[in-house]
Structure 1
Amino acid sequence: MPTSASTPPGATGRRRAWYRGDCHVHSLYSDGELTPQQLVAGARSAGLDFLGTTDHNTADAHPAWVHATDDDLLVILGEEVTTRTGHWLALGLRPGEVIDWRYGVRDGLVARHLDQVHQAAGLSVAAHPHAPYPSGTFMYPYEGFDAVEVWNGPWRSSAPWQADNEAALAEWGRALAADIHRGPWRPAMGNSDTHLEGQIGVPHTVVQADELTSAGILAGIRAGRSWIAASAAVKLSFTATAGGQTAGIGERLKGGNQPVLLRVDVAGVPSGTVSFHTEQGTAHRSSLTATGSHTVEWTTDADASGFVRVEVRDAEGRMAALSNPIILTTAAPPAR
């Protein structure tokens, strides 16, 4: 196994902020057509701050990433673990580390390999749960996984391999209330699954991290302090305020029985719609202006809504932005 000298250089001097990144890309070291250098160039053009390299079942590309980037773009080493009954992303691996993929749901082995990722302080993500090919349909329970890739590639596509993002979002959304109640809940992610030029960053995940490091980004994803964007042109801010307290995406707001003001600021989605979703389903919907920049407010309380998440769709109904929830509670939050 390569030593730590094979770790790609990280971004420097980048403190607490929102960072954009794509954590599902393939190079010519597996079934992609691009070199690591070309992927880095594409990430920069797409306005990204970090990239997760996830070639299928191999770490062969890891040394190449050392020479592919500089300190302006963070590269997180990983793997797409392509099992017989579902694919998943192992992010934050040690240089040269490979997670075994030679099993299926009936073998009862996936938990062992999730533990291997977690021992490396990495993150495990259920990938494209509703992909339309046999091994791509995710058959494992989500328990033990840290996040779910609910948005894979363009929201809609006629390509025969395109994942059903609407189905993945609906499945994740239905489980969210119960997961939040019993904890821990699994945040949503969005990635491009890049194989060809021009795909990178469509979509990508925007993460609030204390610093632009692998540990910082993975901690932000794990905590759900993130939202998904169709492109860097889309901007989103989502907050909840009650009793002088404010919480953001992935956070808890202890608002008691007071009214909670939800505020969404959107840019880059002309003539689209914003919808607020709770355990009751779609709770409120508002249209966006033709300029694409708009503020939408809605009021609820913790008795009516245990959580609120936001969807932003464009004028043709395609997803443009999707947030993880803000959790509303009348009591002290449980330990995570």
Structure 2
Amino acid sequence: MDLTTRYMGLDLKNPLVASASPLNADLGNLKRLEDVGTAAVVLPSLFEEQIEANVARYDHLTGVNTESSPEAQSYFPAPAEYKVGPRRYLDLVRRASRSLDIPVIASLNGTTDHGWISYAKSIEEAGAAGLELNIYFIPADLSLTGHDVEQRYLDILKSVRAMVSIPVAVKLSPYFSAVGSVALALERAGADALVLFNRFYEPDLDIARLEVLTDLKLSQPDEIRLPLLWLAVLSGRVKVSLAATTGVTSADEVVKYLLAGADVVMTTSALLRHGVDYVAVLLAGLTSWLRAREFASVNQMRGIMSRQRAQDPQAFERANYIKILQGYGGG
């Protein structure tokens, strides 16, 4: 059985990727993920706020007492020599890249195209095989237009692309007014892959204490439907690789995402629920499904239920909407 696939220019032994999570901050977990069959790992994100906080801390330290003693400047290394920022993250990238035979993909999380983007180069130099841009941005500024939001994604990607030669993926929000147009624009701007979709962690309200709750809810299988729709729409119509994420709890979701056209399937919630060894269960389920239907490879079944290859492409559009509403029987 040939499970190999290609994602963002990287040759992978199968389509299962461990997406960014706290599990992946531990080298022991990363090694175990490789041992049980994971094809690639995405490290937890390095956040723009972390980098800015460390830069501010350095600026504060170098400014202390410098007016009263100019020689104090010599006590600190020059900014170019001082590795400002979370050195531990770069160390994790370095150690993971040296210890694992599977690709290690780093992750940068931010909302602007400011100085934090320079860390993309440091991440490349630390040995990352690729970089995922997690642009977690909620446009709460009411003056921002849809074009402004889209342009922000493009500006960040272009800034990073100008700094690194490793493959770059962009983790997309599902809330653009025209996801397909944004996908094509990111492709033209140099993206090697798109990850569908960024799962926003919406707050809840405690009505007794009148507090905002920020608890984490792991994804559920029914959340697969939105990324499944857009994977099916984009498959075969964009040149970039497509990664599916959200809602993977069993091999069924892995199969569905691949049928829709995903090149890889990423999961975090399933591993947090069941542990890193659960990758082997997902792989076994995928292999069993392929054998039962006499598919010789993942490539053979990928995208056969996408919009481009569907007998009725409108099944992914308005016709499907009407059919679902009219076919609901209640209960």
The normalised TM-score by structure 2 is 0.38
Q: Whose strand fraction is larger, Structure 1's or Structure 2's?
A: 1
**Radius of gyration: which is bigger?**
2
Structure holding more helix per residue? 2
Higher relative contact order (CA 8 A, sep 6+): 2
TM-score, reference length from structure 1:
0.38
